[in-house]
């Protein structure tokens, strides 16, 4: 048995697939999310749980466990930006976790490693910035750097030159609004195009915003840069106090938010130690940061050198019998003293791909009662009253069905559900049902998607947030149904809050795909059955 360490393990889909080969013994896992930890430990048993990879002494861990043969895992890597953050974020420090993953490889020197990541990792989008902390290492490794530009603002900040401000970290910091006030104003700004949502938000929060502004305006430093905040905040405060329409202060609100976004981006550059030069864009007064960056793959090659023979490619979960189109970048490395002169490879797209549908995955659960509470204790489903596909039969487990929980459907959502046929999404809804959306044309195709029972699904994410709809029933799909689409067996039980369970499922590596990758890497490794 090959002793295996799973880093950034999540709920444990990758571990589960490796364990199912009977050749890998999971001895330790690293995961910092408490709910995912609980799920992992419930399903994988006696495993050393590491709460955080940062600062972990992997060489010492390996010694304590009598050696580690294989390191697997999916370090988060979100590239230059993370669109889900409310503030204007140009840097996601999750990128540094990729470096932690390869620090583990260097310290442990396992026989092999497997890294799973988003398909775009191999593209030129996912790059690291040159920072003060890493600069000497990058120069030592002779990694190629290129010049890049971070635009601090999409629009010019009229009437003020922000370049001297962003060049002075102390002045920059004192000019940024308090988090709570900025968040309140940003929500106000986001809702200004939706009359219904704006009205509800103002009715609930106008006094709070007025008081927050008053608190900020009391005893603040005086400078031309802070005056820019003050003038616009007073206009917003006055209009809210008089219950005036947002049109009376919309311009001031927009200017203030753009200004603060610029400052927050500059602050983030400072906070992350990014080496840069602030300057004006040619022929304009737009402030930009000139930075340098390097590719993730260049870093991996440089930091491991000739110690490992590596290869990487994109694989699709559907190739391995998962009823889902899910593209992931897989990178494997075999220690050079084992690989010898052999070329190593990953699974290729087969000539015939198993056609497993959404219906194959979940139709046998259609008549099972769903729960709306995470406290449910499981339901009896030992006798299916609907046809059971070969795929579903492979996942069923005698006894109770767990995690068959979903979100309660609001009256508004139910009307939308009923209006959609299988395979249709938000963009097929009549205009009168989407008036509450500020920019409906920009809504993703995965929102309000009624799954098609005769096709495989798209990439499973947090389907609660996307509001995926059951093919036949007017309700959101359950955690268990989402897990079926990911190829988790029914005996795999998810712990934590309802939303956490959905998120764990969406983040996971499909076990069937993980098993195929594990079987592929076994070709290059010495294995004993002890």
Q: Catalytic annotation on 77?
A: yes
- Clarify whether residues 343 and 365 are in a common domain: no
Domain ends where: 243, 267, 285?
285
- Clarify whether residues 218 and 319 are in a common domain: no
* pLDDT (0 to 100) of residue 84: 32
The number of folded domains in the chain is: 3
* pLDDT (0 to 100) of residue 26: 97
Can you tell me which residue has the tokens 């079987």? 519
- Clarify whether residues 18 and 35 are in a common domain: yes
Contact indicator for 150, 79 with CB cutoff of 8 Å: no
Does 505 map to a domain? no
Q: Which 8-state DSSP code applies to residue 176? A: S
Rounded to whole angstroms, what are the CA distances from 390 to 182, 272, 364, 383, 457? 54, 51, 11, 15, 18
User: 429-435, long-range: CB within 8 Å, 24+ apart, which pairs?
Assistant: 435/196
- Clarify whether residues 32 and 114 are in a common domain: yes
Does 487 map to a domain? yes
Does 76 map to a domain? yes
Domain carrying residue 95: 2-127+294-350+516-522
CA separation for the pair 209, 194 (Å, rounded): 19
Does 530 map to a domain? no
Gyration radius (Cα) of the chain, Å: 26
- Clarify whether residues 168 and 217 are in a common domain: yes
Give tens-digit pLDDT for 193-231.
Answer: 777 788 889 999 999 999 999 999 998 888 899 999 999
Domain ends where: 285, 306, 338?
285
- Clarify whether residues 371 and 484 are in a common domain: yes
State mean pLDDT over 296-314.
93
- Clarify whether residues 67 and 187 are in a common domain: no
Domain ends where: 228, 262, 285?
285
Residue 81's pLDDT band (boundaries 50, 70, 90)?
very low
Does 8 map to a domain? yes
- Clarify whether residues 242 and 270 are in a common domain: yes
Biggest distance spanned by C-alpha atoms of the chain:
78
445 phi, psi to nearest 5 deg: -70, -15
Rounded to whole angstroms, what are the CA distances from 90 to 96, 173, 178, 280? 14, 17, 20, 18
Q: Structure tokens of 261?
A: 């976004």
CA separation for the pair 400, 420 (Å, rounded): 32
Higher pLDDT, 381 or 470: 470
pLDDT over 50 at 58, yes or no: yes
Tell how strand 276-280 and strand 112-118 pair up: unpaired
- Clarify whether residues 340 and 362 are in a common domain: no
Picking from 515, 494, 513, 487, the residue whose alpha carbon sits closest to that of residue 10 is 494
- Clarify whether residues 491 and 362 are in a common domain: yes
Does 156 map to a domain? no
Picking from 26-35, 67-76, 149-158, 405-414, which range would have the lowest pLDDT averaged per residue?
A: 149-158
Which CATH number belongs to the domain containing residue 321 in this structure? Answer: 3.40.50.150
State mean pLDDT over 128-148.
93
User: 86-90, long-range: CB within 8 Å, 24+ apart, which pairs?
Assistant: 86/183, 86/186, 87/182, 87/186, 87/261, 87/264, 88/261, 88/262, 88/264, 88/265, 89/265, 89/268, 90/150, 90/265, 90/268, 90/269
Give tens-digit pLDDT for 141-182.
Answer: 999 999 999 988 877 788 888 999 999 999 999 999 999 999
pLDDT over 50 at 80, yes or no: no
CA separation for the pair 320, 492 (Å, rounded): 19
Does 26 map to a domain? yes
- Clarify whether residues 486 and 371 are in a common domain: yes
* pLDDT (0 to 100) of residue 5: 98
Neighbour-count burial for 241-263, b at 16+ CB within 10 Å, e otherwise? eeeeebeebeebbebbbbbbbbb
Q: Is 316 strand, coil or helix? A: strand
Which CATH number belongs to the domain containing residue 371 in this structure? Answer: 3.90.120.10
HSE (side-chain half, CA atoms, 13 Å) at 189: 18
Rounded to whole angstroms, what are the CA distances from 185 to 158, 178, 180, 193, 213? 20, 11, 9, 14, 10
pLDDT over 60 at 361, yes or no: yes
Q: Which of 56, 77, 92, 276 is catalytic?
A: 77
Does 134 map to a domain? no
Output the pTM of the full model: 0.87
- Clarify whether residues 333 and 429 are in a common domain: no
pLDDT over 80 at 444, yes or no: no
């Amino acid at each position: 048995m090959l002793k295996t360490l799973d880093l950034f393990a999540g709920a444990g889909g990758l571990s589960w697939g490796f364990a199912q080969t009977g050749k890998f013994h999971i001895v330790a896992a690293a995961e910092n999310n408490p709910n995912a930890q609980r799920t992992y430990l419930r399903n994988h048993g006696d495993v050393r749980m590491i709460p955080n990879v940062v600062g972990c002494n992997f060489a010492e861990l390996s010694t304590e466990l009598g050696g580690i043969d294989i390191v697997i895992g999916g370090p988060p890597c979100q590239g230059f930006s993370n669109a889900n953050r409310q503030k204007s974020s140009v840097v996601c420090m999750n990128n540094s976790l990729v470096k932690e993953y390869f620090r583990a490889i260097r310290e442990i020197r396992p026989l092999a490693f497997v890294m799973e990541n988003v398909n775009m990792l191999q593209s030129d989008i996912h790059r690291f910035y040159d920072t003060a902390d890493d600069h000497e290492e990058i120069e030592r490794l002779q990694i190629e750097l290129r010049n890049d530009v971070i635009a601090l603002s999409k629009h010019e900040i009229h009437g003020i030159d922000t370049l001297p401000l962003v060049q002075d970290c102390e002045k920059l910091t004192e000019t940024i609004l308090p988090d709570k006030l900025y968040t309140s104003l940003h929500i106000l700004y986001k809702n200004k195009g939706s009359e219904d949502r704006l009205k509800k938000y103002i009715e609930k929060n106008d006094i709070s915003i007025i008081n927050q502004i008053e608190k900020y305006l009391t005893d603040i430093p005086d400078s031309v840069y802070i005056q820019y905040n003050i003038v616009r905040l007073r206009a917003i405060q006055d209009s809210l106090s008089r219950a005036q329409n947002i049109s009376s202060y919309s311009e001031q609100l927009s200017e203030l938010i753009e200004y603060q976004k610029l400052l927050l981006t500059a602050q983030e550059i400072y906070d992350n130690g990014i080496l840069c030069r602030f300057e004006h864009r040619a022929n304009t007064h737009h402030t930009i940061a000139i930075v340098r960056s390097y590719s993730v793959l260049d870093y991996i090659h440089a930091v491991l050198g000739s110690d490992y023979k590596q290869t990487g490619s994109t694989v699709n979960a559907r190739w391995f019998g998962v009823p889902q189109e899910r593209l992931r970048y897989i990178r494997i490395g075999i220690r050079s003293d084992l690989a010898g002169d052999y070329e190593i490879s990953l699974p290729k797209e087969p000539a015939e791909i198993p056609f497993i549908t959404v219906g194959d995955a979940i139709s046998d659960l259609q008549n099972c009662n769903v729960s709306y509470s995470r406290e449910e204790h499981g339901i009896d489903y030992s006798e299916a009253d609907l046809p059971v596909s070969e795929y579903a039969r492979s996942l069923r487990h005698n006894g109770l069905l767990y995690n068959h929980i979903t979100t309660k459907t609001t009256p508004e959502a139910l009307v939308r559900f009923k209006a959609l046929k299988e395979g249709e999404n938000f963009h097929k809804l009549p205009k009168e049902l989407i008036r509450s959306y500020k920019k409906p044309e920009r809504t993703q195709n995965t929102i309000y998607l009624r799954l098609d029972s005769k096709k495989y699904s798209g990439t499973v994410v947090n389907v609660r947030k996307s509001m995926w709809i059951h093919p036949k029933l007017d309700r959101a799909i359950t955690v268990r149904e989402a897990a079926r689409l990911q190829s988790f067996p029914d005996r795999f039980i998810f712990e934590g809050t309802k939303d956490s369970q959905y998120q764990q499922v969406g983040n996971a590596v499909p076990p069937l795909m993980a098993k195929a990758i594990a079987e592929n890497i076994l070709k290059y490794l010495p294995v004993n059955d002890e």
